[in-house]
Structure 1
Amino acid sequence: MDRKKNFTAGFLRENPVFSLYLGCCSTLAITTSLNNAIGMGVAVIAVLILSNVLISLMRKITPNEIRIPVYIVIIASLVKVIQMLIQAYAEALYTSLGTFIPLIVVNCIILGRAEAFASKNGVLDSALDGLGMGLGYTCSIIVMSLIREILATGMIHFTNPFDAAQVLFELRLIPEDFVISLFSQPFGAFCTFACLAAALVAYKDHQAKKQERLEKKEAK
């Protein structure tokens, strides 16, 4: 197995959000701010890596008939631990993300990687797969949140997740009179998602055609 290829698959080729269209519910809902995107991304990365590792370790002793319930119990336990940690140490982030933290349990990315990869591969490869997919998901929602936040508020605003009153970074890029508040609403989420997904498809098509031309040139 090419571990580098496996690790980088989640960024473009098999991006869970814009290529596989998994986890779209949380993606559309929480990308209103950079804080939300980073918080959710870190939580998903942690759950993906830990669940992949545990499922990989247990793959040889888990009966095939009950593998899905076993996966769900493992994922749900990890999500509950992450949820309690966020509630205890980052209450502002916990309040902002709301019910979307426990909904990580039913995130198709988590269960999909458990079934498609971790249940069939070793611990190291499964951990790399979880990290790669988690980073791909996190990069996707960060890009979406930046676009929506800049267009809706005219600025990039990042606060301390442990203290919402402490502003760590703030930069205005668009004057207040020219912001498009619609991008803070559901329509803005769908519009941003559609444009980014289309851009990735166009890029992949361009790369495929480029590769096809090279193969034809080499064949001659």
Structure 2
Amino acid sequence: MNKLRIIYNGLVTENPTFVLLLGMCPTLGTTGSAITGLSMGLATSGVLVCSNAAISAIKNMVPDKVRIPAYIVVIATFVTLLQMFMQAYLPSLNESLGIFIPLIVVNCILLGRAEAYASRHSVIDSVFDGIGIGCGFTVALTLLGSIRELLGTGTVFGARIFPETYGSLVFVLAPGAFIALGFLIAIINHVRNRNKS
């Protein structure tokens, strides 16, 4: 399959957040601002690319009976390395993302891609699949975080867009995540349906 097509699938046709509706826990929990959304997306993308490559490389050596546990161990290894790196070099970001970094291990996007793609394709194709799905996830989290930050505080990536008196606290809190995500999914579905007809 064409490598650009694999990336396009992850960004558009198989976007994990807006199309497949996977990984909702970090999507809703870490998008209170654009920077945390972008950071969580990049962290997940890094683990996804590395775990896809490793799982594709070992797929013929892993017996079917222990396939899923083996994939989880591979993913957990990369998440542990990521967390150690963030604790050493990005402590404030590690603190702001909190429990969501270790929870990457159980993110259904990673295990789903390992089972559906990496275990059936070459290492190179699996890397490109990880890049595509990771980019789609990162774009979705950054977009949602930007919208929530703009509506909640009047800033985007900390840059003031609206006056300080502007802002609706609900968009910074958990209900705002559900509201913003619902509207984004509705808009994307409307655009996709119009393009089909």
TM-score (ref. length: structure 2) = 0.97
Match of 2:100 in 1: 100
Partners of 2:39 and 2:106 lie apart in 1 by: 18
Match of 2:22 in 1: 22
Match of 2:36 in 1: 36
The match for 1:176 is 164
Residue in structure 1 matching 2:180, options 182, 187, 192: 192
Q: Distance in 1 between the 2:185 and 2:70 partners?
A: 33
Q: Which residue identity does 1:76 align to in structure 2?
A: A
- Specify the alignment match of 1:66 in structure 2: 66
Structure-2 residue corresponding to 1:215: none
After alignment, is 101-110 or 34-43 more displaced?
A: 34-43
Percent identity over paired residues: 43
Alpha-carbon distance between aligned partners in 2 of 1:2 and 1:45, rounded to the nearest angstrom: 20
Instruction: Report the RMSD for the aligned CA atoms in angstroms.
Output: 1.0
Greater relative contact order structure (CA < 8 Å, 6+ sep)? 2
Aligned to 1:120: 120
What is the correspondence of 1:149-164 to structure 2 with a 5 Å cutoff? 149-157=149-157
Provide the C-alpha distance between the structure 2 equivalents of 1:106 and 1:198, rounded to a whole number of angstroms. 27
Q: For residue 195 of structure 2, what is the aligned residue in structure 1?
A: 207
* 1:46-98 per-position Cα deviation (integer Å, ceiling 9, x unaligned): 10000000000011111111110100000011101100100110000011011
Gaps of 5+ in 2: none
d(CA) in 1 for partners of 2:188, 2:25: 19
After TM superposition, the runs of 4+ consecutive aligned structure 1 residues lying more than 3 A away are none
Give me the whole-angstrom Cα distance separating, in 1, the residues matched to 2:110 and 2:90. Answer: 23
Q: What is the distance in 1 between the residues matched to 2:5 and 2:195?
A: 16
Aligned residue-pair number? 197
CA contact (8 A) 2:31 2:141 kept: yes
Q: Secondary structure at the match of 2:19?
A: coil
Whole-Å separation in 1 of the counterparts to 2:136 and 2:112: 15
Instruction: Tell me, in whole angstroms, the C-alpha distance in 2 between the residues paired with 1:205 and 1:80.
Output: 41
Residues in 2 aligned to 1:102 and 1:171: alpha-carbon distance in whole angstroms: 29
Distance 1:39 1:142 in 2: 8
Within 1, Cα distance between the matches of 2:49 and 2:101?
16
1:35 touches 1:93 (CA, 8 Å); kept in 2? no
Hey, what's the Cα distance between the residues in 2 that align with 1:83 and 1:69?
21
The structure richer in strand per residue is 1
Bigger CA radius of gyration: 1
State how far apart, in whole Å, the 1-side matches of 2:159 and 2:91 are: 24
Q: Find the counterpart in structure 1 of residue 76 from structure 2.
A: 76
Distance in 2 between residues matched to 1:121 and 1:71, nearest whole Å:
15
- Give structure 1 stretches of 5+ with no counterpart: 158-169, 210-220
* 1:143 alignment counterpart: 143
